[in-house]
Amino acid sequence: MYSGLGGQLHANETLQAFGPHFIFLRELINAFLCKNNYALY
């Protein structure tokens, strides 16, 4: 989707800007999956 070095730099800026949100979402998904696993047992 990104082309060349400029695209890569833009992708890095996006990751830096939204990094905390991605970490939060990942933790939220992990907690949700853990709840589902506990519900299965």
pTM over 0.85: no
What total of structural domains would you count in the chain?
1
- Neighbouring CB atoms inside 10 A of 26's CB total 10
Please identify which residue in the block is written with the tokens 């933790």: 27
**Structural domain of residue 8, as residue ranges?**
1-41
CA distance 10 to 30: 28
In this predicted model, what pLDDT tens digit does every residue of 1-41 receive, in sequence order? 445 555 566 667 777 777 778 888 888 888 888 877 666 55
CA distance 2 to 13: 13
